[in-house]
Amino acid sequence: MRGAGAGRVRVKTAKNRSAQSTRWLQRQLNDPYVRQAKAEGWRSRAAFKLIELDETFGLLKGARTVVDLGVAPGGWAQVVRKRVPQAKVVGIDLLPVDPIEGVTLLQMDFMGDAAEAALAEALGDAPDLVLSDMAANTVGHAQTDHLRTMALVEAAVWFAVEHLKPGGAFVAKVFAGGTDKELLVLLKRNFTVVKHAKPPASRKGSSEWYVIAQGFKGRADAGVGDSPSAGQADPQP
């Protein structure tokens, strides 16, 4: 990462900050990905995670219709627009997101009853890539945080299974421990290849990983009831 060798920056306004806030700010100031994101115009350092995943797995090659679940602040949508400018991109988030040229943004709860229909209408066609960098707000209890985030992942998986074009792909953030067994079964039943990866831009101290599912088989195979013998999967993190 360019700029990684720069001198360490100290927080100069720590007097009226909490220790936690000071640590967070110091980490941001000394993070080469944060500096590079700012220099290149990305809205967040998370943009580099998708760039690195795309370089490894070719996720954006040939993509025409892309859904970004949990789009805020918009870094992943920016990457999609830059790498495949011809693609139609729809993002959804409970938080407001500043406009991104060429991206349709929906401010609503993805877990809400109206979200699925709103996304389908905005897309106008079945997506060939579903992205999810969603994570639940943490409460500081590892097991609870994991379960809350996995509920979002489960909803994202089912959205992908019910809407993707055959041959499409799905990417979602998970945490240490990988994808829950039942969701892994569902993914392996419906995709030809399922892998876990931790891109270099993911902080070393973070428990986050990403599950990458490629080669969607089509909705005829949707379900979790049978053995996932068809499909390949790597060991979980």
Q: Tell me the CATH number at 178.
A: 3.40.50.150
pLDDT digits (tens, 9 = 90+) for 139-155: 777 777 778 888 899 99
Is 192 within a domain?
yes
Q: Which of 88, 173, 188, 217 is catalytic?
A: 173
Give buried/exposed letters for 35-47 (b at 16+ CB in 10 A, else e).
bbbeeeebbbbbb
Residues 210-222: what's their mean pLDDT?
Answer: 85
33/117 same-domain check: no
Residue 27 is predicted with a pLDDT of 53
Please, are residues 99 and 105 in contact by the beta-carbon 8 Å criterion?
A: yes
Ranking 25-39, 71-85, 188-202 by mean pLDDT, the lowest is 25-39
Residue 37 is predicted with a pLDDT of 86
Residue 199 is predicted with a pLDDT of 95
35/90 same-domain check: no
Residue 214 is predicted with a pLDDT of 98
**pTM (two decimals):** 0.80
3-state SS of 7-23? Answer: CCCCCCCCCCCCHHHHH
Ranking 12-21, 130-139, 157-166, 172-181 by mean pLDDT, the lowest is 12-21
36/134 same-domain check: no
Q: Give the Å distances, CA to CA, from 1 to 33, 37, 46, 211.
A: 7, 11, 14, 23
Q: Are strands 103-107 and 129-132 parallel, antiparallel or unpaired?
A: unpaired
23/68 same-domain check: no
Higher pLDDT, 128 or 146: 128
95/199 same-domain check: yes
Distance CA 91, CA 106 (A): 6
Residue 234 is predicted with a pLDDT of 62
Is 143 within a domain?
yes
15/74 same-domain check: no
Is 3 within a domain?
no
Q: Are strands 65-69 and 88-93 parallel, antiparallel or unpaired?
A: parallel
Higher pLDDT, 94 or 10: 94
Q: Is the N-terminal amide bond of 73 cis, ω within 30° of 0? A: yes
31/50 same-domain check: no
Q: Based on the structure, what is the number of domains in the chain?
A: 2
173 is catalytic: yes
Domain that holds residue 29: 11-40
In 3D, which of 106, 142, 133 has the Cα closest to residue 202? 133
Residues 98-108: what's their mean pLDDT?
Answer: 97
27/49 same-domain check: no
- Average pLDDT value for the chain: 83
Count of Cβ atoms closer than 10 Å to residue 187 Cβ: 25
Residues 200-213: what's their mean pLDDT?
Answer: 88
Residue 1 is predicted with a pLDDT of 46
Q: Are strands 88-93 and 129-132 parallel, antiparallel or unpaired?
A: unpaired
In 3D, which of 149, 186, 182, 146 has the Cα closest to residue 164? 186
Residue with tokens 């990403």: 210
pLDDT digits (tens, 9 = 90+) for 2-49: 344 445 555 455 455 555 544 444 555 457 888 898 999 999 999 999
Distance CA 196, CA 211 (A): 4
In 3D, which of 140, 139, 133, 142 has the Cα closest to residue 209? 133
DSSP letter at 219? G
Residue 87 is predicted with a pLDDT of 97
116/135 same-domain check: yes
Q: Are strands 208-216 and 169-175 parallel, antiparallel or unpaired?
A: antiparallel
Residue 159 is predicted with a pLDDT of 94
185/110 same-domain check: yes
Residue 18 is predicted with a pLDDT of 57
Hey, what are 65's tokens? Answer: 């219709």
Is 191 within a domain?
yes
Q: Which residues pair with 211 in a beta bridge?
A: 172, 196
